Every structure is written in structure tokens, then in C-alpha cells.
Structure 1
Amino acid sequence: MTTRRNSSDMLNRLLRPAALLAAAGAITMLATACGSGGSSPSPGGGAPAYPALVSSPACMQLRSQNPDLNGKTLTDAINPHTPGYESISVNDPTKYEGFDIDLAEAMGECLGFTVDYLPVAFDALLPTLQSGQANFIVSDIYATKERAASADFITYSKVFDGVLVAAGNPKKITGIDDSLCGTTTALNKGFVEVPLVNAQNTTCQSKGKPQAQTALFDNNADCEQAILSGRADAYINDVNTVNRFVKDQSDKLARATTLTLPYSIGIAVPKGQMPIRNAFTAALTQIQTSGLQTQLAQKWQLDESAIQAPSLVTAS
């Protein structure tokens, strides 16, 4: 059920400057209808990908209770450079694939809406939602109180970070600690790990060591390349992403350690919009209860993930 588009359109959207996305004026939050708005279990018109979910009493009731979602097309803002979570399909460059893509599609089937995707830089995800260009975000984004100033979050997984280094870990990095003094860590702009790495400089200074530097990029692929090219010594992100990079280049990359961060991964929805927040929470609960979230994690080899019952992270 993943939305298809031609490759030139895909390329144009991938290259669209994040600044324009963030600055664009707001549009109507619920996109134009793509169907009759009835209770059809397949909003895209074809056979549902998750028929058991669609036919569940819970989802049938949710579609009836949410006519403003049922039969519509909603836009999911994503940063499609994280294999396993969201990336351009290797087999079909007109499609996106990954756990987050499947999760968004499952949400759509349960609630009756079709999913469209808007690719942006990671630090443009929340501005894109705030501007009204997207209706929600499912893109391996950590739910924090700081980010909740811009959106409401519905959590679905705990956070475990991995530390990616060059094979052999030549700088002997052991985590987000003083082992980062005198090194450069590649991170995405807007990552929660950026201030955590910068905070080590107090310790570095007290011990007379060089500062811990950060090199900021727009996506995870560029962070990986920074390590491969020697421009960075470490990269810190979701452990499953780190594991995949190591698996793909085991002769050049390694995982130094695993960290537990006090965050959760969440779905971001517009602040204060209770109908969509409540509907998404209920649909996610059904996806978890049915075992589908576990199945999707296994499908995409997210071996080190921990399902978390939906809870809200808001600014208040």
C-alpha cells in the first residue's frame, strides 16, 4: 500500500531545501479526500496489507468514530536515510520501505486513511509538521520534552543507542563520556545526542583534555561516510541503525558500545489536536495488542528494540 511516485518526482522532493519546507505557509491539516469517506477497510482501493488489523472490531470502531480521517490522505514527514526504519527501496526507487513506513501504513489501514510521504532533512521534521505540510511524523524520532514544545508525541518504543566507530575502535571510545575528548562525533542536525556530546566538554576541560567536537550532517548516511573517510571518529544513534551499518561494512566499522538513553521513540502529531492524537493512540494500541508491531520489528531486523505501550509526551 506504500504510495508510489515516479523517480524524478522522488528526486525533486529529496532535493527540496529544508529551509523552504520550514518557511512555507500552513496548509489545511487534513489533506483532500481520496475516497468516499465511508468505512472502506482499504483506503488506497486495493487489498489491505494487514487484513486482520483492518477487520478487527477496534479498528472498525475507530474508522466509524473518526470520519475526518477515514477516506482521507495524510502526509507523513520522514528523513528517508535510515535503512531498517525508512529509506528509498533498493528494489524500487519510487517507493519507501522500512519499519516506520509499515507502521504508518498500518495506522492508515486501521483508521482508514492513505499515507503520502514528504522527505525532509532530520532537523526539518518538526518545522514541517508545525507548518502544516505534514499531518504526522513516523521517522525514528526520539520523544523529548524539548521537542514536545513543537509537537505532541505518542511513544511506541524504548531507546537504545549504539556507538559506531572504525573497525578496531582506534580512539578507544567507550560511550558518551570523557573518551570523546579530542575526538569528533558525526551526528544529524537536531539529534538529542548533540547536546549530550557537547556536555562532555566540562569534563574534558577539567581533565586538561582537548574538547569533544561534533560534525553535523543532514542524514545518517553522511554520518557513516564521515567515519569511513576519517572525518569523524564516532557516530551515535539508534542501536539498530548502528548494527546495520556494521553488518554492511564489518571490515571497516564496529560498534563500540550500547547506551540506554532516558527517551522513547514516538509518533509526532500537531500540538493540541486531540482527535488525531486520540485516534493515533488507539490505533497504535491495537497494532501492539495484535502483535503486529513485533512482527514488523522482526521483519526489518530491529533486534534490539523494546516495545513501549503508548504514552503521551507533551510540553506540559
Structure 2
Amino acid sequence: MKLSARQSLVALLLAAASLTACGGGEADTAAASGDGETPEGCEPLREEYSGLDGKTFNVGSAPGAGNYNNPNLENPKEVKGLEPDILRAAGRCLGFEVTYMPQSFDGLIPSIKSGRIDLISSGMYATEERAQEVSFVTHLTAATAAVIADGNPEDIESLDDTCGLQVAAVTGTVENEIQAEQNAKCEADGKPPAKAATYAGNDQAVNAVRQGRSDYFLTDAGVAAQVAEQFDDDLDAGFAVPSEFAFGFGVDPENTELIEGLHAALMLAYEDGSLEDAQKEWGFAPEQKLEPAIVTA
């Protein structure tokens, strides 16, 4: 049976979720589909970006928390998350394979400039400053999200609902600034501000919500999704507050075919909804949906 473009791309992203990208020099075999045929909708892209077909690209990644690029605890050589799934699906569409090369976050841009890697997949903000050295193909809006008790007993649907509640705050995080702005708004509306219990790290804040000592905890949306998955009997990922930043795959600015081909594959997934499906699969909020774009100097 021949699949529609949407069915094909959804199948690619779901298939990618069941695989892992391997480090240690082993390539992730990015076949176009389970039967070896190019998925419908990808054929014109393979023709237009034929120089990518059959290539293997080295991908630099600093795996960490947040469902972007996570280390597989069962196999530390493997990376899983939203970005590996998207990149594998793009590889199957365009005919390329990837080899993941774990390294420190601050070494990623120097590695791409030196030619050691071809792509960056590490939950990296596509900022104007970084774009002076590396081009980006964006795929997701960065956001803060709430970690709330399972079932949302306090009916917290947005920051406006936090007035008078108990918040678990982690010292020195940007989320404290977001909460401070909201507290000022609460007071201006004649409502009590949220009361903060301050903790040194995320683990203590998470436990405060799990144990009912706090009503919610603000953190990166990817971390919120991961925490909700880890403690699915006690916690949920709640509302999201989108930021002005976007996550993107970093690419050598001189590799224009890879930049444009990757963007075209992501646009195909964006237009048919499969990119949003993948984001939802990894627990990201609808507010983070973003039309892919190329960011370059």
C-alpha cells in the first residue's frame, strides 16, 4: 500500500522514536523507510538535494536533561530525544545517515568550524551571536513550563492562575524572573502574589510538588516533559510560556545544500503536521510549535 505524504512522514518520526543514534563511530543507518523505498513526498527533495543522498554526517551533541538529546541510561553510547528523532526522519527522507559524536557543549561550535562535525544537535538556541559562526535550521520555540501535580488539582492553566499559590523556586534561574513579573501583575490586579519556597536544585523543587508542599514548579519545557514522564503517577507538565528564542540544528555555513535540504525536509514535516506530532510525543507544549527557518549571518 502506498502511503500519503503525511502518513509517510509520521511513520518516519514514529520509527525514529524506536531507534537510537549511536556514538563511538557507529553510523545510525538512516534508510528512507522500512521497505527501502523513498517515502512519498520526499522524492522531489531527494532529486533537488541529490548531493546529500548516501552521505554520512557527523553530529556533535552534548546529551543532557530535557527530552532534547538524552543519554540512554540503558546504553550510555546512545542518544534519544526529539532532536535525534527529527534528524533521523530527515535522513530517511533525504537519504543520509548520521553518526553521533558526544562532546562538551562549549566545544560544539569550534568542532563544526574545524570540520570535525557536520551538524550540531544539542538543544542549542539559534541566536544571532551564534549565527555569526554557525548557520541554523530551527524547529522548536524555547519555553518555560510548569510542573504540576497529577490531574492539575489547582486548575493552573496559565501564569495568571498562580496568584496566591505556592511555587517551588530554584535559586538563580530565569524562571524566578518570570514569576517575579507575574507576581507584580497579581498585585496590580489586587491579588496576592505566589509564595515561593526556594531550593538549591531541581530535584528538591520536584519533590516539593510531589509531596504537596508546593503547587507548581517552573522550569525549561523540555525538563518539565521529562520530569512528568519520570514521575507520571505524581506529576504532569502544565502550561507553557514561550520565549523569543528558538532551538535549531547547527550546520557549517558553507554547506548550503545540507542547510537548504534539512530545512526543506523539516518544512515538509511541519506542513503535514508530523513535526508537531513528534514534539507532542516527547511532551512539548503546543505553544512551542514553530515554522522551521534558516538563521544565518
TM-score normalised by the shorter chain: which range applies? 0.5 to 0.7
Pairwise CA distance, 1:299: 2.2
Pairwise CA distance, 1:256: 10
**Which residues in structure 2 correspond to 1:44-83 (within 5 Å)?**
44=29, 48=33, 54-57=38-41, 59-83=42-66
- For 1:22, the equivalent position in structure 2 comes to none
Is contact 2:66–2:224 with CA below 8 Å preserved after alignment? no
- 1:185 correspondence with 2:172: yes
- Deviation per CA, 1:234-262: give whole Å up to 9, x if none: 9853x132342355369999989854321
Quote the Cα distance in structure 2 between the aligned partners of 1:265 and 1:289.
Answer: 18
Matched-pair identity in %:
24
What SS is found at the alignment partner of 2:52? coil
- 1:110 correspondence with 2:127: no
Which piece of structure 1 moves more, 248-257 or 131-140?
A: 248-257
**Which residues in structure 2 correspond to 1:1-316 (within 5 Å)?**
2-4=20-22, 9=24, 44=29, 48=33, 54-57=38-41, 59-162=42-145, 184-185=171-172, 224=202, 236-237=219-220, 239-245=221-227, 248=230, 258-315=240-297
Which piece of structure 1 moves more, 86-95 or 280-289?
A: 86-95
- State the TM-score, normalizing by the size of structure 2: 0.62
- Deviation per CA, 1:31-90: give whole Å up to 9, x if none: xxx9xxxxxxxx9386725989x3224x22222333332111111212211352221224
Quote the Cα distance in structure 1 between the aligned partners of 2:84 and 2:39.
Answer: 21
Pairwise CA distance, 1:140: 2.1
**TM-aligned CA distance change 1:227 to 1:308, over 3 Å:** same
Quote the Cα distance in structure 2 between the aligned partners of 1:271 and 1:282.
Answer: 16
- State the TM-score, normalizing by the size of structure 1: 0.59
Aligned length: 240
Quote the Cα distance in structure 2 between the aligned partners of 1:264 and 1:293.
Answer: 15
> Structure 1 stretches of 5 or more lacking a match?
11-33, 35-42, 166-173, 175-182, 187-192, 201-214, 216-222
Is contact 1:164–1:253 with CA below 8 Å preserved after alignment? yes
Quote the Cα distance in structure 2 between the aligned partners of 1:243 and 1:107.
Answer: 23
- Deviation per CA, 1:80-121: give whole Å up to 9, x if none: 113522212244444321111110101111111111111122
> Structure 2 stretches of 5 or more lacking a match?
1-18, 149-158, 160-169, 182-199, 208-216
Quote the Cα distance in structure 1 between the aligned partners of 2:137 and 2:255.
Answer: 13
